[in-house]
Structure 1
């Protein structure tokens, strides 16, 4: 069998971007989707993305296509996987998929500044519409990767402001993992990490003041075991 010509294969770059949004029962893990305006799958929702230009790197393409389709610029971006099944799209299309995080306090500011496209909406990951192509597979894989990685690294920082309380940090982990964590065990594990740096500032409110923390960008939570396990 003769190999296909290079010009018969197109390369797309897509990004599954996560953020937290306030819901009736607390924060909800959400992603933005784009309603397609042309065939195939016109009118269906899809993961933001676009074609790779011949003169750009993959990461640059991920940032560009995300900004063009949603008006968003993530605070954390990582390559996820390559999807290239033969029948996943009309024609031969290979998709390089990234996953990204964006702080909830920056979402609306970025969308307002960029003039958010009308065909973009945010959806809870547990309540997604039917998606075009094989994009549900892309999203499910990204969710799985996020939930597996969040317990081992400072990835939650991509969903938080620069400074935060331990309760706010625990809430992020609980939202991503989809389950409650024991507060005492969580505090003991996190406070013992060199990645978490206490500040001199406190958040005041109805309860006693809570110390604010920040992440040390040079340190990971490596070798301490996954949060929420054991």
Structure 2
């Protein structure tokens, strides 16, 4: 590896970590909106989301320049492609942070409405998955990344239970339908945060081990079913 490429990779690493920190803060604040919605916070998140969009483009441009200049191979090539993928996942998480915040503000017209404790727990777990997936990148820890991938099944289970509960409440309390629809959307959005955390974790496994584990379970089931 040339000295110049090493310097560029180090700068790229710092840029991605700074983006990670900003997006993680955004998702923390958006989840906090569920218990204490505030239009001002939502407006701030929308502005920050625009900054994250520009950040994503800047990182991708940096990656493409490194690829063109140095034609890296092996782990260096995997690192650059992983950075592009992780940045794209973070950009989508920032979008979701805005969506969660907007759904939370939709509850302001029903102050007597309480957010289910299961939703708060699900949000906490999803945010934890995101935080730890970023730690995996910093520590190059593919074992923890694999554990995070397995946790997504639990989030999916919680998502299904909450959705079924909300549908039942819609039937029982039609006067609360607007608030329940906002919660319905928030639940689905939080589940997607966990999906993006899982995608990042899968990218880290690729970075460290050189293995693509995305859809691995599906392929294994198909192979077992084949005659």
TM range (shorter): under 0.3
Q: TM-score under structure 1 normalisation?
A: 0.22
Q: Bigger relative contact order, structure 1 or 2, given CA contacts below 8 A and separation 6+?
A: 2
In terms of fraction of residues, the more strand-rich structure is 1
In terms of fraction of residues, the more helix-rich structure is 2
Q: TM-score under structure 2 normalisation?
A: 0.23
